[in-house]
Structure 1
Amino acid sequence: MIRIVTAGRVRRLEQDAEQARTRAREIQGQADAAWRRHVREVWELTARAESAESDAGILRKQTYRLEAASERVRLLEGELEAAKRSGRSLVLLLHWGEPHSIHRSREDAFAYAATQGAPVHGWTPSDERVHAEATWQTIAFTADETVMGFRPALASGPEPMGGAA
């Protein structure tokens, strides 16, 4: 079959083809923009997920540390209660005036301090005051129900204030 195409028909076909190409470029631009938004969103979500995983790992570690510290506190509370019932005291080991560890006796505190580099001999008796310039110091303490806390074992209980009994 032979078809005769006029110049006007060719122009209309070329215009239609140009419009279709223009529309295809517009659609391709929109698709490219949507793809870029999608990739950016995936990138941000991945970064947030990795950050959340990292935070969860940090929180797990902190939880384990808190559980371990809580267990140590429970053990120390039990030991303090036993010491209080038996009338003996516990010993707080200070390093440069800061609390370092708690021990059952001065000998245990001295032995532990020796593992940390403190001299085995040469310890002098200390009073209940904390000396920040002292490398190592021990203070015996006990629970005191009257003050709902702790006090040095060397000190007596609180004195009544203003003559009150």
Structure 2
Amino acid sequence: MAAREMVPVSDGVRNISSFVTRRLNRLQGELKGQENLTLQCPDCEQMTLVVVPGGGFCHFCGASWSSDESIACDYLEARDETEELIQLCPQCDCYALVESVVFADDPNAADSLYCFGCTVRYTAGELISCAGCSRLWPIEADDDGGAGTLCPECRDQTQPESVE
């Protein structure tokens, strides 16, 4: 008797799955060429969210974001992570840099960092913590031969003032 009661539920699940598959197939043309900007939507969990500087739009469910901070927070929340993980981007100085953002063009790139503000993508090996303030900063050859990389603010604080 219980199995018979589950038939409508099972049929409904099949219908939903069929709808999702058909919708994703129709969206392939819209998303073609944007794989490097397409990630999983925090609302519908489909790989159909196209991000642009300062926001994004999900082609599957229609959700949209108009600020880099809100999309970064929602993305982390959907992964059960907290917004404390959002870091300052060395490119645009926005708190919108997030680790392990997975894109449609490289679903295995778990060691990447992405800025929802300026849409710059970094690999983990491209950034290092500043020796002065711990801010992530591009790895550079230090002019002074020191062991640690310094961001511009820390570098300015450590250089002696010129006396004229």
TM-score range, shorter chain: 0.3 to 0.5
| TM-score (ref. length: structure 2) | 0.34
Higher strand share: 2
Larger Rg: 1
Pick the structure with more helix per residue: 1
